[in-house]
Amino acid sequence: MNASLPGIPVSASEVGDLFEPLFWYIVAVTAGGTLLVGALLTVFCVQYRRQNTTGSTPRILGSHRLELFWTITPLMIFLTFYAWGVYIYDRAVQVPNDIPEIFVIGKQWMWKAQYPNGQRVIIGGNPANMSEEDQKHIGALVLPLGKPVKVTFISEDVIHDFGVPAFRQKIDVIPGRYVSTWYHPTKLGEFHVFCDQYCGTWHSLMVGKIHVVPPAEFEQFLEGKGGAHGSENPVDGSPAFKGWQHFQRLQCQKCHVPNAGAGTREHPQAPTLEGLFGRTVPLKGGTSVVADDQYLRESVVNPRAKVVEGWEPIMPGNYRDQVTEEELRDLVAYIKWLKPGQMIPPNDKAPSLNGAPRETKPESGSAGGGK
Amino acid sequence: MSIIVADEPRVGPVPPEPAPLKTNYLNARSGILSWLLTVDHKRIGILYLVSLTAFFVVGGLAAGLVRINLLSPTGAIMTEDQYNRMFTAHGVVMLFLFLIPSIPAVFGNFFVPMMIGAKDLAFPKLNLASWYVYMIGAGFMVWSVLAGGIDTGWTLYPPYSSRYSQSNVFPGAFGAFITGFSSIMTGLNIMVTVHKMRCPGMTWGRLPLFIWAMYATSFIQLLGTPVVAITLTLLCVERLAGIGIFDPAIGGDPVLYQHLFWFYSHPAVYIMIVPGMGVISETITCFSRKNIFGYKAVAWSSVGIAVVGFLVWAHHMFVAGISYYSAILFSFLTMLVAVPSAIKVFNWTATLYRGSITFQAPMLFTLAFLVLFTVGGVTGLFLATLGTDIHLHDTYFVVAHFHFVMVGGMVLAYLAALHYWWPKMTGRMYSDFWSRASATIIFVGFFFTFVPQFVLGYHGMPRRYPNYPAEFQVYNVLSTAGASILGFGYLLPGFYLTLSLFFGDKATANPWSATGLEWQTPSPPSTFNFDRTPVVVCGPYEYAIGVDQLGRGLPEPPGPGSADDPASHHGPTGPAGPMHKETHVVG
């Protein structure tokens, strides 16, 4: 028993601050009602116990006025709860327009988040159910203090529920359907996230953290500089991030899988790009080359020029037609940024690939580079 | 304030104590087959009593293990998988095998015919069939437990239950499907019996309130249970055949299941509690020697609950992705269904006013019911209110609320009924001291168990969590401590009731001096209940005048036992005795 609970749990959002007065109003009224019933029971039981009475009782059958009184009075009181509750519910579920949207995926047994600029983080879960890649990115859902954000949820498998006690809110996360809520954090700090809908064996480990930080720190987090929160992904605005988006669009990861050649995949079709930059690459024909910017660019636009030792020259040579020079620069920046373990495998279930709200829509039919 | 004083019924003399029967329903026939093939509603009630007690013990043990595991924030004795199976076993056994049948199957079977002056239920063979169907369903559930258990929670939400769980969902769900038919059979039987088999003079306005409650319950059973049957069938179809009904990955809708499930399962909580309310109306009048306050209000509020109870199911789904407007509508309807329960509590309380109250075990259980049910009822308002439900939903607050109503309410009403009617059922009296001790211990233990859970829920501890943040541990330990007191309280009746069968004093025909027809037969009654068809001349609770429903005087009620008890000095109550009756009161 290392920590004790405060009397009133911290309330860290606008809805939380709305919740408390209503909660205590209902507590006061219902406690009053219960105590009234309890007091009447006590008084009657003492006053009219057999020792105190003759054993004979009056024949009282009822009273229409009393019945009306205790039908209408509770109903009126209940309706005050109802009306106040509807007001808060309305505040809690009607998402304001034009606020940034974070996308959260629940799956057995972890929560993953993606920010509008592509920043990704694992909110929490059971590490045993995560890939090594994901385990490195366990952090928290980082939210800016005082700025409302919309959060859209979907589940990959069963029904989960994203509950944040400090925000006094929860929402079922359903497979096959987007549901949205919004949070307006009002206090700095770290708060629990619980899965509140039973979802299987490790339900109780499908927990995470929400980290409310000052807006400046939030910006840093978005840019991938706030490593403490579990994410060092390339982010919006940086060439590497844009390059990553082009990398996805062009389906480069279909062949350039992570760990290729390391014996982890059976049929890699192309060398891995992780940690490539700066390395000395052996080439067909016995020469070698240091992987600098120029080499990287050349390998995209003219892949047959320098073929890596041990690989067949199967990469199509038409990428030059599909990327502008600027985009090419971004691609190179991304490849330079790639260190071992950072690449996302093609079967990755990261939010951006299936249905996340993204900044740049993939152009249809752009899955260039057919083999 | 005017108080309604109706005409006094005519009062006959107090009947002499009937000689105990040489052959009663218990010893009329003997041998195991005489029980297994019986069509006597009383024996079937006893069959149910024995089976339900066994399942209550099983469900209680599972609850005990769950509570022990929660002593530690990382699980004291079980793995997560074992814990999930354990709380599911607790929920499934307690709900489908104990709470839903409980009072209708045991006391409804036993006492509905006796209280309306009939020889048996309308369909005695259907009645026996209902017990067999129940046992077959229970057998499927036992199969699922023996084969390793179910880990889905009693609500069986798909797509987890239908596509992902590796546990024995099918036998469990199919068992629940089968026991549902038992529930339908019992409901149908009681409904027809109440309609067609009331004795002469037993008008609807003279029905004991227990009968009204059973009638309302039957209505819910008949209308609601088929819906859960088809829901569970669809679940099994998806699980076994992979046909997409609830799993969106194969074209289904998971929220559809919740609508169907709660369309039954919310009314089902009224199947559980309304019979308990009927019991309380019987005991509180008897032990306060008063007419029920507001007979019509109490009777019609049962019917009101049964009807409005069908219109509130989606309040289990406020955060489950239902539309904004349906949430607002269902919250409103839920506020309406809270009113009849409040009416009942106020009427019961008012019944005590100017009574002459004694505190035997049935009355202690009744008073405990009133307190706990009131707390359970008002905490439901937090969950009916949208603004508070979006935080409290699926936390321990819900667990505590549900247990206050179902254990504090229903189980205590069941125990009140058991202690009230035990002398009639067995012909024996049990220990006065130990039964009162048990009621007190259960009440105290209950409070300690579930009040901390309200605090946990308010702080956000989710249900079904074997692992929880360390700061929640204090309240979990408190709750488990309370549960051990509660468990001890439950053990006591097992001992003193069993002992009473062998060593208890012989019960008189009407040990509580009650007015109902069931007490106007010897204890235990004969196979056909009444020698001749009774003729009812007045309403059910004429304690003030001191007359039973046959128009005869009441025997002396049991006093608190002290020498200065006026009732023990002045002979029988009622105009036949020396006491002056204050029947005309204007308050």
Domain count, chain B: 1
Give the tens place of pLDDT for each residue, A196-239: 999 999 999 999 999 999 998 888 888 776 655 556 666 656 67
Express each pLDDT in B479-489 by its tens digit.
999 999 999 99
Q: Is residue B576 part of a domain?
A: no
Count of pairs with CB atoms under 8 A, one residue in A, one in B: 348
Question: Looking at the predicted structure, is the pLDDT value of residue B195 above 60?
Answer: yes
Indicate the residue of A57, A171, A201 with minimum beta-carbon distance to B151. Answer: A201
B62, containing H or E segment:
helix B41-69
Q: Are B390 and A92 a contacting pair at CB < 8 A?
A: yes
Whether A129 and A208 share a structural domain: yes
Q: For the segment B273-326, what is each residue's pLDDT rounded down to a tens digit?
A: 999 999 999 999 999 999 999 999 999 999 999 999 999 999 999 999 899 999
- How buried is B116 (Cβ within 10 angstroms: 0-12 exposed, 13-18 middle, 19+ buried)? buried
Is A334 or A79 the better-scoring residue by pLDDT?
A79
pLDDT tens track for B559-584: 654 434 444 334 334 333 334 444 44
> Does the beta carbon of A37 lie under 8 angstroms from any beta carbon of chain B?
yes
Give how far B82 is from chain A: nearest CA, Å. 9
The residues facing A308 across adjacent strands are: A283
Count of domains forming chain A: 3
CB-nearest partner of B3 from A45, A63, A165: A63
Asked whether residue A251 is domain-assigned, the answer is yes
Residue A176 has pLDDT above 90, yes or no: no
Please report the pLDDT score of residue A348 as a whole number: 43
Task: Identify whether A7 is part of a domain.
Answer: yes
In a domain, B394, yes or no: yes
CA closest to B253 among chain A residues:
A176
Question: What pLDDT, in 10s, does the model give residues B415-446?
Answer: 999 999 999 999 999 999 999 999 999 999 99
The reply to whether B25 falls in a domain is no
Distance between A274 CA and the closest CA of chain B, angstroms: 34
What residues in B contact A88, CB-CB < 8 Å?
A: 386-388, 390
Q: Distance (Å) from the C-alpha of residue A178 to the closest C-alpha of chain B? A: 9
Considering the domain architecture, whether residues A30 and A125 belong to the same structural domain is answered as no
- A41: nearest CA partner in chain B: B349
Domain that holds residue A331: 239-337
CA distances to A73, A163, A290, B351, B371 from A69, in Å: 6, 40, 90, 16, 21
Q: H helices of B385-472, where?
A: 386-392, 396-403, 412-426, 432-458
- B480-534 pLDDT, tens digit per residue, is 999 999 999 999 999 999 999 999 999 999 999 999 999 999 999 999 999 899 9
Q: Which of A72, A93, A114 is the last residue of a domain?
A: A93
Q: Of A203, A229, A255, which marks where a domain is finished? A: A229
Q: Please give the share of chain A, as a percent, with pLDDT higher than 90.
A: 43
Q: Which of A161, A177, A204 sits opposite B466 (nearest CB)?
A: A204
- A91 neighbors A14 (Cβ within 8 angstroms): yes
**Judging by beta carbons within 10 Å of its beta carbon (0-12, 13-18, 19+), is residue B529 exposed, middle or buried?**
buried
Our CA-based measurement puts residue B119 at a distance from the nearest CA of chain A, in whole angstroms, of: 30
Q: Of the candidates A3, A45, A176, which has its C-beta nearest B367's C-beta?
A: A45
φ, ψ dihedrals at B78, nearest 5° = -125, 160
Judge: A82–B473 Cβ closer than 8 Å, yes or no: no
CATH code at A292? Answer: 1.10.760.10
State the average pLDDT for chain A.
82
Residue B473's H or E segment, with its range, is helix B473-503
- Mean pLDDT value of segment B394-408: 96
Confidence band for B453, pLDDT divided at 50, 70 and 90: very high
A10-65 pLDDT per residue, tens:
999 999 999 999 999 999 999 999 999 999 999 999 999 887 776 678 889 999 99
Domain at A201, CATH number: 2.60.40.420
Note whether residue B427 is domain-resident. Answer: yes
| CA A273, A277, A280, A282 torsion-angle sign | positive
B574: closest chain A residue by CA: A56
CB A108 within 8 A of CB A200: yes
CB contact under 8 A, A163 and B459: no
Q: Cβ of B557 and A55 within 8 Å?
A: yes
B-chain residues near A194 (CB < 8 A): 460-462, 465
Residue B23 lies in a domain: no
Residues B136-152, mean pLDDT to the nearest whole number: 92
- Which residues 71-130 of A are in CB contact (within 8 Å) with B? 71, 74-75, 78-79, 81-82, 84-90, 92-94, 108
The pLDDT value recorded for residue B571 is 38
With respect to residue B180, please indicate whether it lies within any of the assigned structural domains.
Answer: yes
- Any domain includes A286: yes
Is the confidence at residue A2, as pLDDT, over 60?
no
pLDDT above 70 covers a percentage of chain B that reads 93
How remote is the C-alpha of B424 from its chain's centroid? 19
Residue B76 has pLDDT above 60, yes or no: yes
CB A14 within 8 A of CB A167: no
Other Cβ atoms less than 10 A from the Cβ of B364: the count is: 24
pLDDT at A1 over 50: no
Cβ within 8 Å, pair B294-A33: no
Check pLDDT > 60 for residue A177.
yes
Both ends of chain A: CA-CA distance in Å?
61
Whether residue A370 is predicted with pLDDT greater than 70 in this model: the reply is: no
Alpha-carbon distance B532 to nearest alpha carbon in chain A (angstroms):
30
Q: Which chain B residues touch A169 with a CB distance below 8 Å? A: 390-391
Identify any residues that bridge with A13 across adjacent strands, giving them in sequence order.
A185
Q: Are residues A141 and A181 in the same domain?
A: yes
Of B297, B573, B583, the CB nearest to A58: B583
Q: Tell me: pLDDT of A147 over 80.
A: yes
Assign A290 a pLDDT band (cuts: 50, 70, 90). Answer: confident
Of B152, B290, B385, the CB nearest to A57: B290
By DSSP bridging, strand A110-114 and strand A208-213 are unpaired
Most A CBs within 10 Å, among B238, B319, B333, B374, to test the A interface: B319
pTM, full prediction: 0.84
In a domain, A54, yes or no: no
Average pLDDT over every residue of B208-222: 96
Whether B583 and A170 lie within 8 Å, measured CB to CB? no
Predicted pLDDT of residue A56: 77
Q: Among A110-119, B7-16, B90-99, B488-497, whose mean pLDDT is lowest?
A: B7-16
**Domain range spanning residue B472?**
32-552
Is A348 a member of any domain?
no
In this prediction, residue A261 has a pLDDT band, given cuts at 50, 70 and 90, of low
pLDDT tens for B335-378 read 999 999 999 999 999 999 999 999 999 999 999 999 999 999 99
Query: Which residue of B388, B543, B564, B582 to mutate against A (max A Cβ within 10 Å)?
Result: B388
CB-based burial of residue B31 (10 Å sphere; 0-12 exposed, 13-18 middle, 19+ buried)?
exposed
A219 and A140 within one domain: yes
**Residue A9 resides in a domain:** yes
Cβ atoms of B194 and B172 within 8 Å: the answer is no
Question: Which CATH number goes with the domain that contains B501?
Answer: 1.20.210.10
> Given A93, A110, A134, which residue is the final one in a domain?
A93
pLDDT of the residue at B587: 35
For B94-125, what is each residue's pLDDT tens digit? 999 999 999 999 999 999 999 999 999 999 99
pLDDT for residue A73:
96
- Per residue in A154-173, pLDDT (tens digit) is 999 999 999 999 999 999 99
Closest to B378 (Cβ–Cβ): which among A4, A30, A50? A30
Phi, then psi, of B6 in degrees rounded to 5: -90, 175
Tokens matching residue B391: 């935080």
pLDDT at B178 over 50: yes
The answer to whether position B249 is within a domain reads yes
Probe site for chain B from A27, A40, A57 (most B CB atoms < 10 A):
A57
Query: What token pair was written down for B151?
Result: 């880990």
Share of chain A above pLDDT 70, in %: 83
Which residue in chain B is spatially nearest to A3 when comparing CA positions? Answer: B471
Of B430, B445, B414, B447, give the one whose Cα is nearest residue B280: B414
Residue of A172, A174, A177, A354 to mutate, testing the B interface (most B Cβ within 10 Å of its Cβ): A172
| Same domain (yes/no): A244, A317 | yes
Burial of A133 (0-12, 13-18, 19+ CB in 10 A): middle
**So what's the pLDDT on residue A274?**
83
Cα dist from B408 to B243, B365, B374, whole Å: 41, 10, 9
Structure-block tokens of residue A93 = 């579920």
Is A130 in the same domain as A210? Answer: yes
> Which one of B11, B351, B357, B461 would you mutate to disrupt binding with A, by most A Cβ within 10 Å of its Cβ?
B357
Contacts of A15 in chain B (CB under 8 A): 390
Nearest to B585 among A58, A165, A174 (CB): A58
The DSSP code sequence of A71-102 is HHHHHHHHHHHHHHHHHHHHHHHSPPSS--EE
Check CB contact under 8 Å for B331 and A86.
yes
Whole-angstrom distance, CA of residue A34 vs CA of residue B382: 14
Q: Does one domain contain both A170 and A201?
A: yes
pLDDT at A104 over 90: yes
Residue B293 to residues A66, B209, B284, B297, B366, Cα–Cα distance (Å): 10, 12, 10, 9, 16
The answer to whether A57 contacts B356, with C-beta atoms less than 8 Å apart, is yes
pLDDT at B479: 96
Q: Is residue B256's pLDDT more than 90?
A: yes
Give the CA distances from residue A343 to residues A129, A287, B319, in Å, rounded to whole numbers and listed in that order: 19, 28, 37
The pLDDT mean for chain B works out to: 91
Between CA B495 and CA B275 the distance in angstroms is 26
Which has the higher per-residue pLDDT, A368 or A29? A29
Instruction: Nearest by CB to B358, from A4, A50, A172: name it.
Output: A50
Beta strands A169-173 and A160-164: pairing type?
A: antiparallel
Q: Is A364 exposed, middle or buried (0-12, 13-18, 19+ CB in 10 A)?
A: exposed
Q: Is residue A247 part of a domain?
A: yes
Q: Is the Cβ of A32 closer than 8 Å to some Cβ of chain B?
A: no
What pLDDT, on the 0 to 100 scale, is given for residue A119?
79
Domain shared by A108 and A225, yes or no? yes
Would you call A176 and B5 a contact, using CB atoms and an 8 Å cutoff?
no
Note whether residue B22 is domain-resident. no
The answer to the question of residue A370 being in a domain is: no
Q: Which of B164, B316, B372, B391 to mutate to test the interface with A (most CBs of A within 10 A)?
A: B391
